Amino acid sequence: MIRLSLFCFALLGCSALFADDLASRPNILFIFSDDHAIKAISAYGGDLAKVAPTPNIDRLAHEGMLFRNSFCANSICGPSRATILTGKHSHKNGFMRNTGKGLDQSQWTLAKTLQAAGYSTAVIGKWHLMSEPQGFDHWEILPGQGSYYNPDFIQQDGKTKRFEGYATDLTTDKSIAWLEQRDRSKPFLLMCQHKAPHRTFAPPLRLLDAYDDVEIPEPATLFDDYANRSVTLATNEMEIDRHFDWAYDAKVRKDERGDVKLPPPDRYGTPEYNRMNAQQKAAWDAHFGPQNQEFLKEFAAGKMTERDIVHWKYRRYMRNYLCTVKAVDENVGRLLKYLDDNGLAENTVVVYSSDQGFYLGEHGWYDKRWMFEESFRMPLIIRWPGVAKPGSAPEQLVQNIDYAPTFLEMAGEPIPAEIQGRSLVPILKGEPVAWRDSLYYAYYELGEHAVPQHFGVRTDRHKLIHFPVSGEWNLFDLQSDPQEMRSIYDDPDAKEIRDQLTKEYYRLRDVYQAPPLPKPAKGD
Ligand code: SGN
Ligand code: CA
């Protein structure tokens, strides 16, 4: 294929092409995590940055470009991954929900194209697209959500093997092992995809106490009352207060476990705990045991109010979540060191991103899905030596539909017309470029965490969210109300901006050829 295209170009008299030695094309190392909120990356700033720094991810930002306004098209795992591989919104690539038949592999994908262009391609870690990976010379993936401790990896021969250790460390070990034995005559695309910091936020045993002595700042909206916005907010099932658990039972609070890691962890069976060997369980018990006893003593003595319990759960949630992030950061450091030690740093583009953001207590929540800022935003940091200005932080509205065309242009490949995103290469090069001034969002899942289907548009200052099933619209002024606590949709003063955004919303639906909206529940 490569030879053929070289031949064709040679016939066209394109002499520059001979300089286009395959090996000189940049390698692409895509380091991807699951549910990593920008607030938990210190390069993005914020309160948590001070207590839980991420020096290795920050290094990428100092040496590269941090996208300040990066968003997903559909804030959920599989759909975000499908969008990255196809450069299209969910309705176009067919992967609209986590439940479903899996990625339709007959369509165009980034991996298939780069493989055909002569890249060595690999995906290691969380995949979550159900159908077997295609377009990768090598793959080794977690089944479904995967496990943190002693995880299974599905091998390319279809067999599943269990590995002792922690998923984030193992995913990096396997990535480095693949880099070591790759075909060095070719550039590579390596997608190193972590399970962390996804629920149930199980920390690496070596870091269990990393944040024990740290005061974790709470978000201002931890006790959101859901007033002044869609009625669907109040019926959510993702509150730290009411739903943060594995085997949730609203009436029997002492039976909480899994998420909160209260004992006895295996009474109802928490899969993570049960995977550990005796030594690992002992380390876990030694850490959580005394803290749990202290909590349960206070709880049994009736000393804790409902709010105290939320504060306690929030702290426990954040400590564990941040420990899983710390392990991701350390493993980013290991990969960067590998590139340095092997003379690969200069010609390798390193990308750090995550499938969506996450609620770290904002609106009282964990999880994602909503078009509110915390889960709509996606971290995106790109180090491209000699091209992206170190320490730069552009403001353009970018989205995960843009990843595939960006990687194609980096690799010198043409961008097919069917792709809906745009290459970020001009932004990376610092070139003046006319850019989009609005983003389209669509969330299609039907039940988990009781988040309704919703759709919307965001500009640099405003956000319009449409809830077609309840027939509601919310409008936020992100400048005066960055926490999105009051919809101004019905304010007489907001008429002009409401009309503008509504028009833009329908325009984007046309541009992206969005399917019909779901029907209102009451037929109004
Ligand atoms: C699991 C989690 C949910 C989470 C989904 C989707 N429950 O079902 O809390 O929203 O995954 O996450 S758990 O009890 O199994 O942890 S996603 O990142 O894969 O989209
Ligand atoms: Ca996710």
pLDDT digits 0-9 by tens, 429-462: 999 999 999 999 999 999 899 999 999 999 999 9
The whole-number pLDDT of residue 523 equals: 52
Distance 199 CA to ligand 1 centre (A): 6
| CB-ligand 1 contact for 98 (6 Å cutoff) | yes
Alpha-helix residue ranges (DSSP H) falling in 160-243: 167-181, 240-243
CA separation for the pair 29, 339 (Å, rounded): 10
* DSSP track, 334-355: HHHHHHHHTT-STTEEEEEEES
Residues 6 or more apart whose Cβ sits within 8 Å of residue 432: none
CA of residue 72 relative to chain centroid, distance? 8
**Nearest ligand 1 atom to alpha carbon 76:** 20
The whole-number pLDDT of residue 273 equals: 87
| CB-ligand 1 contact for 202 (6 Å cutoff) | no
Q: Report which of 259, 226, 219 is spatially closest to residue 240, judged by C-alpha positions.
A: 259
CA separation for the pair 476, 479 (Å, rounded): 9
DSSP-assigned beta bridge partners for residue 153: 161
The whole-number pLDDT of residue 24 equals: 85
- List the strands of the sheet with 348-354, edge to edge: 65-66, 380-383, 348-354, 27-33, 188-193, 120-126, 138-142, 152-154, 160-162
Q: Which of 35, 80, 145, 369 to mutate to test the pocket of ligand 1 (most atoms within 8 A of CB)?
A: 145
Q: pTM for the full model?
A: 0.94
Amino acid letter at 516?
P
| CB-ligand 1 contact for 259 (6 Å cutoff) | no
Sign of the CA dihedral with 194 first, then 119, 380, and 504 last: negative
What b-and-e string marks burial along 61-74, b requiring 16 or more CB atoms within 10 Å of the CB?
Answer: bebbbbbbbbbbbb
Residue 246 in contact with residue 257, Cβ under 8 Å? yes
Max Cα distance, the chain (Å): 85
The whole-number pLDDT of residue 266 equals: 53
Distance 523 CA to ligand 1 centre (A): 31
Lookup result for tokens 């075909």: 183
CA separation for the pair 226, 234 (Å, rounded): 6
Query: Where in the chain are the domains?
Result: 206-316, 442-511
Sign of the CA dihedral with 263 first, then 268, 272, and 273 last: positive
Residue 120 in contact with residue 344, Cβ under 8 Å? no
Write out the two tokens for 255: 């039976």
Distance 370 CA to ligand 1 centre (A): 14
Return the C-alpha torsion angle 168, 171, 176, 180, nearest 10.
170
- Which of the following CATH numbers is that of domain 442-511: 3.40.50, 1.20.120, 3.30.1120, 1.10.3470? 3.30.1120
The whole-number pLDDT of residue 121 equals: 98
Return the C-alpha torsion angle 167, 168, 173, 178, nearest 10.
90
In tens digits, what is the pLDDT along the chain, a chain of 524 residues? 444 444 444 444 343 333 357 878 999 999 999 999 999 999 999 889 889 999 999 999 999 999 999 999 999 999 999 999 999 999 999 999 998 789 999 999 999 999 999 999 999 999 999 999 999 999 999 999 999 999 999 999 999 999 999 999 999 999 999 999 999 999 999 999 999 999 989 999 999 999 999 999 999 999 999 999 999 999 999 999 988 874 434 444 444 457 888 766 555 557 788 899 999 999 999 999 899 889 888 988 988 999 999 999 999 999 999 999 999 999 999 999 999 999 999 999 999 999 999 999 999 999 999 999 999 999 999 999 999 999 999 999 999 999 999 999 999 999 999 999 999 999 999 999 999 999 999 999 998 999 999 999 999 999 999 999 999 999 999 999 999 999 999 999 999 999 999 999 999 999 999 999 999 986 54
